[in-house]
Amino acid sequence: MKPTGAIKRIAVLGGGFSKEREVSLVSAHAAERALKAKGFVVTFIDVQRNLGALVSALTVAKPDVVFNALHGRFGEDGCIQGLLDMMSIPYTSSGRLASAAAMDKPHAKRLFASAGIPVADERIVTVAEAEKGDVMDRPYVLKPVNEGSSVGVKIVRDGDNRPPLGDLGLAGDDLIMAEAFIPGREVTVAVMGGKPLAVTEISTGREFYDYDAKYADGGSSHQLPAQLDKALYERAMELSAEAHRVLGCRGISRADLRFDGGEFYMLEVNTQPGLTPTSLVPEQAAHVGMSFEDLTLWMVEHAQCDA
């Protein structure tokens, strides 16, 4: 695959100011190297909490496309997408509406349920309620309503003390989601242009597939393809493609599911999947015969905005 003639200059956005800043920098520099190897003129922009500086950097760079490698809040929740829409600059991955919908976990779950995609039971409670006592039958999961990469996720099991929530930086009246814990296996499916690529089963020696399990060397092991019978494998692929569709995603997304032995339950859809050495989307792309460089090129060639 070679770049199309109309696209010559690319600005890669990385860093940001969410709790996923360091992972974003790894993803961004990996994309930067790949796109330079493809012959593009690439400008890397380290996004800080300074909107004027970002607009100025983009104005100077004059990119034909922005490669959005930001993760977490303000980078994959519709905020940066809205800015790029206003500037009429095409960008990779989902637009502002799908990005916002996917990052808001309760809203995304309502959309999934409306499309017949199984989800775990949940309650939206305040931090003060969760710290005071159990908010649903154990085991259950506490998670922020708008973070990615399992940031701030806590599991409450039988016999456990309730985990402290103060490290989330939330006030007592802030809302979090309590969700029934689904025992079983964890799988993930990358969806590219609306088509699922493969199913990976994730195993980890940690309590669950948390932030460190996702990004630390040796934090998890990936079975690709997942050892599922054909009907179950196809079921996971179909549910993931439907979740991509119902959210209105474009480009590449990655769906995370739990399998309890009988059914798959959609946990969330990541509209800005990581591009680090341990990330799942590049691994699945390679599984279907696409190099990392060609993956980034495909993303660039399918960039658009909602100007």
Q: Over pLDDT 70: what percentage of the chain?
A: 91
Separation CA 87–CA 101 (nearest Å) = 22
Top pLDDT among 156 and 166 is at 156
Q: List every span in the chain annotated with CATH 3.30.1490.
A: 122-180
For residues 72-86, average pLDDT: 95
Catalytic-residue membership of 64 = no
Let me know: does 256 contact 267? Beta carbons within 8 Å: yes
Catalytic residue among 211, 268, 279, 283: 268
Provide the pLDDT for residue 205: 60
Catalytic-residue membership of 270 = yes
Q: List every span in the chain annotated with CATH 3.40.50.20.
A: 9-93
Strand segments, DSSP code E, in 195-298 are 195-203, 221-223, 252-259, 264-270
Top pLDDT among 271 and 277 is at 271
Enumerate the β-bridge partners of residue 46: 14
Provide the pLDDT for residue 209: 46
Catalytic-residue membership of 68 = no
Catalytic residue among 215, 251, 258, 283: 215
Write down the CATH number for the domain with range 9-93: 3.40.50.20
Q: List every span in the chain annotated with CATH 3.30.470.20.
A: 101-118+184-292
Catalytic-residue membership of 149 = yes
Write down the CATH number for the domain with range 122-180: 3.30.1490
Catalytic-residue membership of 254 = yes
Can you state the angle between helices 79-86 and 96-103, rounded to 10 degrees? Answer: 170
Tens-digit pLDDT profile for residues 182-203: 999 999 999 999 999 999 999 9
Confidence of residue 263 (pLDDT cuts 50, 70, 90): very high
Catalytic residue among 254, 258, 279, 283: 254
Top pLDDT among 270 and 277 is at 270
Catalytic residue among 146, 256, 265, 279: 256
Confidence of residue 204 (pLDDT cuts 50, 70, 90): confident
pLDDT at residue 1 greater than cutoff 70:
no
Catalytic-residue membership of 148 = no
Catalytic residue among 150, 210, 274, 279: 274
For residues 122-150, average pLDDT: 87
Strand segments, DSSP code E, in 181-293 are 185-192, 195-203, 221-223, 252-259, 264-270
Catalytic-residue membership of 203 = no
Catalytic-residue membership of 256 = yes
CATH 3.30.470.20, applies to 101-118+184-292:
yes
What six digits make up the tokens of 40?
A: 């593009």
Separation CA 133–CA 66 (nearest Å) = 46
For residues 4-12, average pLDDT: 88
User: Sign of the CA dihedral 260, 265, 268, 269?
Assistant: positive
pLDDT at residue 14 greater than cutoff 60:
yes
Separation CA 178–CA 136 (nearest Å) = 7
